Amino acid sequence: MVRSLGKHLIAEFYNCNNEILDNVEKVEYYMKKAAIETGATIVTSTFHRFLPHGVSGAVIVSESHLAIHTWPEFGYASIDLYTCGDDVDPWKAFEYLKKAFNSNRTEVNEHKRGLYNEIGIPENSSHKVEVE
């Protein structure tokens, strides 16, 4: 098995609820809840509503980040779910958000980030690499 520091889901959500995608409070709430669903710890976050429409934001977690950009006029949201470590699962955020945004069609690419062999971490290290 190729080991990596993190897993990054690059997700496209189609046919979402337009009203939710244009509501910055709701988008922020759902993104934070999604972060918690993965098992991650929220560190900081920032969200913004654009004029005439659309929301962008990111939640930094100890285990990496979740980010979103919405195009409510198309019912489309571009979502990144990136977590590090064995104790968290970005797919839980994916399933949660699919329901929260009421999307009936999604597309996901999963990337491994920070491959141990590329960075030079021994493959048999424990996942939480301890450094003196």
Residues noted as catalytic: 64, 69, 84
In the list 35, 84, 88, 100, the residue contacting a copy of itself (rule: CB under 8 A) is 84
- Rounded Cα distance between 85 and 92, Å, is 14
In the list 14, 23, 24, 26, the residue contacting a copy of itself (rule: CB under 8 A) is 14
Give the other-Cβ count within 10 Å of 46's Cβ: 10
Give the other-Cβ count within 10 Å of 30's Cβ: 20
- State whether residue 127 is helix, strand or coil: coil
According to the binding rule CB under 8 A, does residue 57 interact with a copy of itself?
A: yes
Bridge partners (DSSP) listed for residue 44: 60
In the list 25, 43, 110, 123, the residue contacting a copy of itself (rule: CB under 8 A) is 43
Alpha helices for the chain (secondary structure H): 18-21, 24-38, 90-100, 116-119
According to the binding rule CB under 8 A, does residue 69 interact with a copy of itself?
A: yes
The site for a copy of itself (CB under 8 A) is made up of: 5-6, 8, 10, 12, 14, 43-48, 50, 52-53, 56-58, 60, 62, 64-65, 67, 69, 71, 73-74, 76, 78, 80, 82, 84, 107, 109, 111, 113-115, 118-121, 129, 131
